[in-house]
Amino acid sequence: MDLQTHKDHILENGFTVINNIFSDKELEKIDEVLKNIDASNENFRKSEDLFAIRQFLKELPEIKDLILNANMNAIIHEIFGEKYMAVKSIYFDKPEKSNWYVAYHQDLTISVDKKIEIAGFGPWTTKKNQFAVQPPLPILENIYTIRIHLDDTDENNGALKVILKSHAKDIYRPETIDWNVETEEICKVERGGAMIMKPLILHGSNRTTNGKKRRVIHIEFSDMELPGELQWSERLN
């Protein structure tokens, strides 16, 4: 893996795709843990279009060492930096018949442990005692997101589409996209590979049309400490 090339691609375009991070044997072990999930847990969201687990690494601690294998740790250290830690994790399972469509957006919030008034932080949302807030821009610009794919994913089963270089344009409202100047790219990822992106890149996904499921583990990383008494709610060194 030429990680410097991938690092350059992220800095310039806002994302990169690295395949073959996990072996077949490692993927089988991950599948095994996911098969035995208790879906009745109240932190898990279940509908016919989507099954999701928030605070994924906290909810399934036995999966952490399977996910953070040697290849993944090398990627985190070489591309992000030595002090990066996981600060948010979600598991998405979009079933074969899912018609789940996601409009273009940026990821503008972080998960924190409490709600307190701090200059530059807001607006806030609270769901089931979980707090999310939009932080100042430098905190968002510092985050890297890894999306690990447990199924082959392309334009026919909801692969992410991105607008190249949009991560470098601060807060970018989707309704102001100028399609005369912007370039869209579909990010195909193989089972056992990952898409790495900056949360400020405009991204979305189309509905599944080929009847194939798409399972993704989404993990966000930062090396910043939050100000005052505020802490990352899912911090995992």
Question: Residue 119 domain-assigned?
Answer: yes
d(CA 16, CA 22): 17
pLDDT at 7 over 90: yes
Domain span at 190: 3-222
Report CA dihedral (124, 43, 86, 236) to the nearest 10 degrees: 110
pLDDT at position 209 is 84
* Residue 102: C-alpha distances to residues 61, 114, 222 (Å): 29, 28, 25
pLDDT at 8 over 80: yes
* Residue 36: C-alpha distances to residues 33, 40, 63, 95 (Å): 5, 12, 12, 17
Question: Residue 17 domain-assigned?
Answer: yes
Contact 84, 222 (CB under 8 A): yes
Question: Residue 173 domain-assigned?
Answer: yes
Task: Count how many domains the chain has.
Answer: 1
The H or E element containing residue 6 is helix 3-13
Mean pLDDT (the chain) is 92
Question: Residue 230 domain-assigned?
Answer: no
Question: Residue 229 domain-assigned?
Answer: no
The H or E element containing residue 52 is strand 51-54
Q: Which tens digits make up the pLDDT trace of 180-192?
A: 999 999 999 999 9
Residue 174: CATH number of its domain: 2.60.120.620
pLDDT at 95 over 90: no
Task: State the maximum Cα–Cα separation within the chain, in Å, rounded to a whole number.
Answer: 49
Q: What is the pTM of this model?
A: 0.94
Confidence of residue 3 (pLDDT cuts 50, 70, 90): very high
Helix (H), strand (E), coil (C) string for 82-120: CCCEEEEEEEEEECCCCCCCEEEECCCCEEECCCCCCCC
d(CA 143, CA 233): 15
Question: Residue 107 domain-assigned?
Answer: yes
Q: Which tens digits make up the pLDDT trace of 100-121?
A: 688 999 999 999 999 999 999 9
Question: Residue 114 domain-assigned?
Answer: yes
Q: Which tens digits make up the pLDDT trace of 130-144?
A: 899 999 999 999 999
Lowest mean pLDDT: which of 45-59, 180-194, 204-218? 45-59
Q: Which residue has the higher pLDDT, 24 or 46?
A: 24
pLDDT at position 133 is 98
